[in-house]
Structure 1
Amino acid sequence: MKKSMYIAAFICLSIILSACGSKAEEAEGPLLDETFTIGVIPAQTVGAMEEAMDKLQSLLSEELNRKVTVDVYPDYNGVVEALNYDKIDMAYLGPLTYIIANQKSGAKAIITQEIDGKPYYHSYIITYEDEPWESLEDLLHTPEEVDFAFGDPNSTSGSLIPTIELQKRGVFDSQEDHDFHSVRYTGSHDATALAVQNKQINAGAIDSAIYHQLIESGKIDKEQLKVIWKSEELFQYPWAVHKDTNEETITRLQETFLSIEDEEILEAFGASGFTKASKEDYRNIEEAAKQQGIINE
C-alpha cells in the first residue's frame, strides 16, 4: 500500500515539475528548434553581403534564443513574395517593396538603419565625369543621345523616384516609351554604378548611401563619376516582420538591432547604426506608389 502511495506521489511530482519546466521555457523565449527566417534584398551583389549576413545570423540566433537564418535573395520581388506567402518571418526591403508587402500581407516595419546618424537617403542620377552635363537639365537637352539605366524595377531610389522625376520632365513613361537612346534595368545599385563608370551607359539612377559606400570601399572611383541630380529625403530601408509576429519577438529584434556595433554588419548596409521605424515613416513612398498604380488607392 505504502509503495503504491510513493509511486503515485512521484508521478504527481513529475507532472508538476514538467509543467513548471514548460512555463520556464516559455518565459525565456521560443524554443531553439523554431527557426526564424529572414530574407534580404540585394542592395549590393549577393557575394558582397554574405559574410556580414553570417555574423548577423549568429547574433540574432543568440539574442532570440532560436535558430535564425538570413538569406540574400536575387531580386526585390523574391523577398516580397517570400514574405507574402509566409516563406520568411522578416525581410530587409526597400521602401517601395515594403509598401507593396504591407498592402499585400500586412508586413510591419520595425527598424531601419541610420547613415551618419540620420535615417534618410536620396535617389541620385549619376554620370561619367567626362560627360558635358552638370545637371539633369543639361542631360535632358539631348535625351536621344543618352543611354540611361535604372536599377531593380522595384527599387525606390533606383527606379520609382527617378521614374516620377523623368515623367514630370516629359522624357520617360516606360522602357518602351521614352525619349532616350536606350533604357535598361541593371538589377542592382552597384551594377548601375559600374555600368556608368565603364561607359556602358551614359547615366543611371542609384541609392545615395550605396553610392557613397561603393566609393569608400574602392569598388568605384569617385574621380570618374559625378552626381547631376538628387531627390528629396527618403526614409531608409526598413526591416519588416510578418503581421503575426508577437510583440516580445519584435521588442527583442529592435533591442538587438539598436545595440549592433559590429563594423562589418553596419558596413554591409552603409549604416552608422539602427533606429526604430514604422509605416508612418513611409507615407510619401506609399503615395508615390499609388500615383504610379503600383498599389491600390
Structure 2
Amino acid sequence: MFRRRKSFLALTGLVLSCFVMAACGSNAPAADKTAGQAGQQAGGAAVQEEFLIGVIPAQGSNQMKIGADKLAEVLGEKLGRKVRAEVYPDYNGVVEAMGAGKAHMAYLGPLTYVEAHERYGVKAVMTQLINGKPFYYSYLIAPADSPYQSFDDVVKQSDSIRFAFGDISSTSGSLIPGIALKKAGVFKTQQEHKFKSVTYTGDHTATALAIQNKQQDIGAIDSAIFNNLVKQGKVDGTKIKTVWQSEELFQYPWAVIKTVSDADVKKIQEAMLAIQDPDVLKAFGGASSFIEAKNEDYAAIRQAAIEDGRLKVKQ
C-alpha cells in the first residue's frame, strides 16, 4: 500500500513537472515573438517615407531639374531622410500631388498656391528674392521691331495679333494679363476673344522663344524668368521688347502639406536661408537668395483669383 502511494505521488510530480515545462516552453517563444514584434515596430518607425518635392515647369528646362535635385540633397541632409525632387509636366499636377499626399513640399506659382491652400490647406513657408526683392511682374512682350508699343496698341489692334499666354494656371502668364485684357473687353476665354488667335504655350521659356522667333505677336510672361533667360543667353534680349508691365506680384512660394511638422518646417527654412549654390538659385527665376513667406503674402492674388472666377471659396 505504501509503495503504491509512493508511486502515485511520483507520477503526479512527473506530470506536474511536464506541465510546468510545457507552460514555460510555450511562454518563452511567445515572449520572444512579442519582443520581435516590438523590435519590428521600433525599426519600422525609424524608417521614414521618402520626402517628395514637386516643382511646376515654370521655365521648361533641365535647369530647374538640376537646381531642384541639388535642393533635395541639401534638405535631405537637414531632415535626415531621403528627399527627392520631381518637375511635373504641368502646374495642376503638382497641386493634385499635394492633395493626394504624394508631394510633401512644392514650388508653386502664386495662383496655384492659393488654389492648393484653399483646397488642401497647404501653407507657404519660403519664397525667393530677385535682385534683393520678393516681387516680380507680368510682362507683355513683343518682337523688337513690332508695331505694338503699349497695352492700348494691343487692345486697339487685337484683331491682328496672335496672342500667347503661358500655362493656363500661371499667375503672370495667364491670370493677371487675362484680367487686364478682360477689363479692356478683348478677351474672355481661348474660344471667345477679339484676337487673331490665342495660344497657351505651357511655360515661360516657350513664350519667350515664340516671340523671339515671331511665331506669336504678343506674349504674357514672368518678368524675373524673362530677365533670367536673357541674362543666361537663352533668348536674345535685343530681339524682344516689353510693351506692358503689371503691378508688383509676390514671388513664387514654396509650400508644405499639413502633415509636415513644425520642426521639419523650421529645418527646411534654416536650410534654404543658408543656400548660396548658384545652380539652385538660378533655377528658380534667377534668385539672389531665399526668404521666409506666409499665406498672407498672397492675399492680393487670392482676391484676383476669386474675382476672375478661378477660385471657389469654401463657405
With the length of structure 2 as denominator, give the TM-score of the two structures: 0.84
Distance 2:104 2:283 in 1: 21
Alignment partner, residue 189 of structure 2: 174
Mapping 1:119-134, distance limit 5 Å: 119-134=134-149
* Aligned-partner SS, 1:140: helix
Q: State the shift of 1:31 in Å.
A: 4.6
Q: Are 2:199 and 1:164 aligned?
A: no
* Aligned-partner SS, 1:112: strand
Code of the residue aligned with 1:137 in structure 2: it is: D
Distance 1:212 1:142 in 2: 27
Q: Which of 63, 77, 95 is 1:48 aligned to?
A: 63
Please tell me whether Structure 1 or Structure 2 has the larger radius of gyration of its CA atoms.
2
Distance 1:32 1:194 in 2: 46
The answer for unaligned runs of 5 or more in structure 1 is 1-14
Q: Which of 224, 230, 241 is 2:256 aligned to?
A: 241
* Aligned-partner SS, 2:242: strand
Mapping 1:213-292, distance limit 5 Å: 213-269=228-284, 270-292=286-308
The sequence identity of aligned pairs, in percent, is: 51
Q: Is contact 2:127-2:291 (8 Å) kept?
A: yes
What are the superposed Cα offsets for residues 128-172 of structure 1, whole Å, 9 maximum, x if unpaired? 001012211122221100000000000000000000000111110
Distance 2:48 2:281 in 1: 28
Alignment partner, residue 87 of structure 1: 102
With the length of structure 1 as denominator, give the TM-score of the two structures: 0.89
Distance 2:126 2:46 in 1: 24
Distance 2:131 2:53 in 1: 25
Alignment partner, residue 132 of structure 2: 117
Alignment partner, residue 293 of structure 1: 309
Mapping 1:94-113, distance limit 5 Å: 94-113=109-128
Alignment partner, residue 144 of structure 1: 159
* Aligned-partner SS, 2:156: coil
Q: Which of 186, 191, 194 is 2:209 aligned to?
A: 194
Code of the residue aligned with 1:278 in structure 2: it is: K
Q: Is contact 1:31-1:66 (8 Å) kept?
A: no
The answer for unaligned runs of 5 or more in structure 2 is 1-34
Alignment partner, residue 4 of structure 1: none
Q: CA RMSD in A?
A: 1.8
Cα distance 1:145–1:36, how it changes in 2: closer, same or farther (>3 A)? same
Q: State the shift of 1:292 in Å.
A: 1.3
Q: Is contact 2:130-2:288 (8 Å) kept?
A: yes
